[in-house]
Amino acid sequence: MALTKIPSVLYFGLETLPVDVEVNVASRGLPGFEIVGLPGKAIAESRERVKAAIVNSGMEFPSRKITVNLAPADIPKEGSFYDLPVAIGILSATTDFPIPEKSLFFGELSFDGTLRHTKGAFLLALFAKEFGFKNIFLPKDSVNEATIFPSINIYPVERLSQLLAHLFNRQKIVKAKRREIDDLGLGSSEFDMREVLGQEQAKRAMEIAAAGGHNAIMIGSPGSGKTMLARALPSILPPLSDQESLEATKIYSASGNIPPGASMIKIRSFRSPHHSTSLAGLIGGGTNPQPGEISLAHRGVLFLDEFNEFPRSVLESLRQPLEDGVVNISRAKASIKYPARFMLIASANPCPCGYLGHPKKECTCTPREIKKYVKKISGPILDRIDLHIKVPIVDVDELSQNKRTAKFLESSESIRKRVCQAREIQQKRFQSKAICSNAEMRNKDIKRYCSLSKEVEKILNQAAISFNLSARSYFKMIKIARTIADLEGFAEINPAHMAEALQYRQ
């Protein structure tokens, strides 16, 4: 048989489309090897890899005219995973072994015939499920990513020759078993909240942020511990729910961020891009739009240290994703939608020199400089940040000697327990809704889920007058109060919850 057809897949952002890999080995014509169907650079170079891998696996590479077509021919294709289907197609055309029904071949070949970890295995498994495929042959290192559905047979392939032995029925490859997902890395954050001395209020704010998925900004002088607080945040975050884990893994799989051998993402991601990050790097972009930091932080934390130092255009681009939880990236070649529901944790200095309000050092900035500095963050962005936290300088020597303070040092584990309980309450509350946390509530959800007693409303209205709260701040306060009530396990928001929420106003 000179023509074989192997089903494969095409990635389009997080979406998948079926593709046919058609391999024609002609009996006439000058020897050659061509791939058509708008292949990307990685696919065009696949010819060399396939040729070398076949030869180095002890097989003969046919010296005939080989043409590979990736159909449909008018959609551009990217990725190195077509190596395996192309190689199988060529060998099947020349040596005439049967290709098993409803099977997918996936993986990048090495010159010596071994298969390398290839990105996108998780999406492939979802695709296989959707289109009713039965078997997937893929690199051993990528297997854990794909073993999510028991109905699909996953075959871990180490080298090309091993796969051929399996197809010729000489030696079968053992199917991969579904691995129990281990709680890898849970609680193994850089810092424990116990290590952060002082900063009681900031820590409480972190707890509220973690519990309700609220965005927060920390303002304080250099050395006050903003970065440390943010880095300790993952230690009090609740684990991802199954649905959230699925969403996050999709993005990580598509962008090749799942390390070899790893399975689904179970812990919330913590991304902290440097302030020199470009707009495309943060939001996503490229000719073939790739997910940016905000999508990689989906259902996790996006920590922007030195918030004021980010270019204004980059910060402003956060507005729409902060509101909608998705980002649409349109380029000449494609327009792709990536989810981006993240918790924004920002940190900033109070002034350009950083020492405004410092107990010992003198601030050398003029009011004009400070005004200009503060203005770098626009109102619409600050409006979308629920918790505003002031982080004062802490005298660490004094605190570490003070025994009384030890009483207040709570470990991340016990904070996390409260956070998880609060999240459970929220999950129940929003069961019928597309949202998961208090922070995602729109105004109409607030009206529905946060009924305020007369007493609470009175406090809030009075605060609106004495603190000059804007309409948006007004609703932010209700959201925060809701989270505080959830942390304490109250069904109703009571006056104390509202009063505490007011501490974190803009």
Partner 1 sequence: MSNIIYIDDEKYPKLLKQIGKEAPKQLYFKTNTLKTNIFDNCLTVVGSRKLTSYGKQAMEELVGKIALAGITIVSGFMYGGDAVAHQAAIKAGGRTIAVMPCGIDRISPEYQKELYQEILDNNGLIMSEYKGNMAPTLWTYPQRNRIAAGLSKALLVVEAGKKSGCLITANYAKKFKRKVFAVPGPITSSITKGSNALIREGAEMVLSAKDVLKYYRSDLALRKTNFFESLSPSQQAGEHAQTSRFKNLPSKLRALNKNPKNIEEQIIDLLKREPLGADELSRQLEMPVSELGVKLSILEMHEIIKLRGNKYGIN
Residues 6+ positions from 333 with CB-CB distance below 8 Å: 76, 287, 288
Q: Is residue 269 within the footprint of partner 1 (CB under 8 A)?
A: no
**Residue 204 contacts partner 1 per CB under 8 A:** yes
Which is closer to partner 1, CB of 40 or CB of 392? 392
Confirm or reject binding of residue 93 to partner 1 (CB under 8 A): no
Choosing from 103, 118, 147, 199, the residue that interacts with partner 1 (CB under 8 A) is 199
Radius of gyration over alpha carbons of the chain, in Å?
Answer: 28
**Of the candidates 222, 239, 281, 495, which one interacts with partner 1 according to CB under 8 A?**
495
CA distance linking residue 12 with residue 202, whole number of Å: 42
3-state helix, strand, coil in the chain (%, to 5): 40, 20, 40
Contact with partner 1 (CB under 8 A): which of 1, 32, 408, 414?
408
| Core vs surface per residue 44-56: b (16+ CB within 10 A) or e | eebbebbbbbbeb
Site string for partner 1, 454-493 (x = CB under 8 A): -x---x--xx--xx----------------x---------
Q: Which of 129, 312, 371, 442 binds partner 1 (CB under 8 A)?
A: 371
179-185: long-range contacts (C-beta < 8 A, 24 or more apart)?
179/144, 179/147, 179/263, 181/263, 181/264, 181/266, 183/239, 183/266, 184/262, 184/266, 184/267, 185/266, 185/267
Nearer CB in complex with partner 1: 181/496: 496
By C-beta, is 104 or 469 nearer to partner 1? 469
Name the one range near partner 1 by CB under 8 A: 157-165, 209-217, 311-319, 400-408.
400-408
Sign of CA dihedral 303, 210, 248, 159: positive
Size of the site for partner 1 (CB under 8 A): 37
Closest by CA to 75, choosing from 152, 25, 9, 165, is 9
Report the nearest approach of partner 1 to the CB of residue 486 (Å).
Answer: 13
Residue 374 is a binding residue for partner 1 (CB under 8 A)? no
State in angstroms the smallest separation of the CB of 402 from partner 1.
Answer: 8
Q: Which is nearer to partner 1, 132 or 359 (CB)?
A: 359
Interface with partner 1, residue 201, by CB under 8 A? yes
Cis ω before 72 (30° cut-off from 0): yes
The nearer residue to partner 1, 21 or 353, going by C-beta atoms, is 353
One DSSP character per residue, 222-260 reads TTSSHHHHHHHGGGGSPPPPHHHHHHHHHHHHHTT-SPT
Binding site for partner 1 (CB under 8 A): 198-204, 220, 356-357, 362-363, 366-368, 371, 390, 392, 394, 402, 404-405, 407-408, 455, 459, 462-463, 466-467, 484, 495-496, 499-500, 502-503
